[in-house]
Amino acid sequence: MKKEEIGYRIKLIEKSIQAIRTSFPKTQERFSKMGLAKDGIYKQLEFAIQNLLDALNEISSSLELGAVSYRGIIENLHKEKIIDDELKEKLDFLVQLRDVLVYNYDILNDEIAFKNMEEYLQFLEEGLKFLTSFLEGEG
């Protein structure tokens, strides 16, 4: 397993989460009126999710679990008891959110995103905790 690759992705995820937290407005109305800055928040969210999924792919590949999709990677990590039920559910949600951010950007609802952004970031942070503890366990 390429520990340095996963470590690098952890740093990118942390940087994206920090960028979102520091630029996220206090009101939904302000969020909706941010224009390109709002798009930047969505892009940072997508980037963080992508890095988390790519790190999970790195783990899956190193364990030779053989999956071709992010859903398959998560399923295999769960089946092998590397991730628990709760984390699997959150990762499955992040895959769906990533798909919307990448392929269906036009259907994003700013009001829903504003209300749920903290939850999205918490899911990412739980993924970070998993990656960090996995790396430490591989030490």
Burial class from Cβ neighbours inside 10 Å (0-12, 13-18, 19+) for residue 4 reads exposed
Domain of residue 15, residue span: 3-138
Residue 106: pLDDT band (50, 70, 90) is confident
pLDDT at residue 48 tops 80:
yes
Q: What is the pLDDT at residue 1?
A: 62
Contact between 134 and 59 under an 8 Å Cβ cutoff? The reply is: yes
Judged by phi (left if over 0) then psi (alpha if -120 to 50, else beta), residue 109 lies in: beta
Task: Work out the average pLDDT over 38-60.
Answer: 96
Grade residue 55 by pLDDT with cuts at 50, 70 and 90: very high
Start-to-end CA distance of the chain, whole Å, equals 11
Query: Could you read off the pLDDT of 22-45 as tens digits, one per residue?
Result: 999 999 999 999 999 999 999 999
Q: Residue 2: which pLDDT band, with cuts at 50, 70 and 90? A: confident
- Per-residue pLDDT tens digits for 117-132: 999 999 999 999 999 9
Kindly report which listed range (15-29, 65-79, 113-127) carries the lowest average pLDDT score: 65-79
Supply the CATH number for residue 112's domain. Answer: 1.20.120.580
Mean pLDDT throughout 11-22? 98
The count of structural domains within the chain is: 1
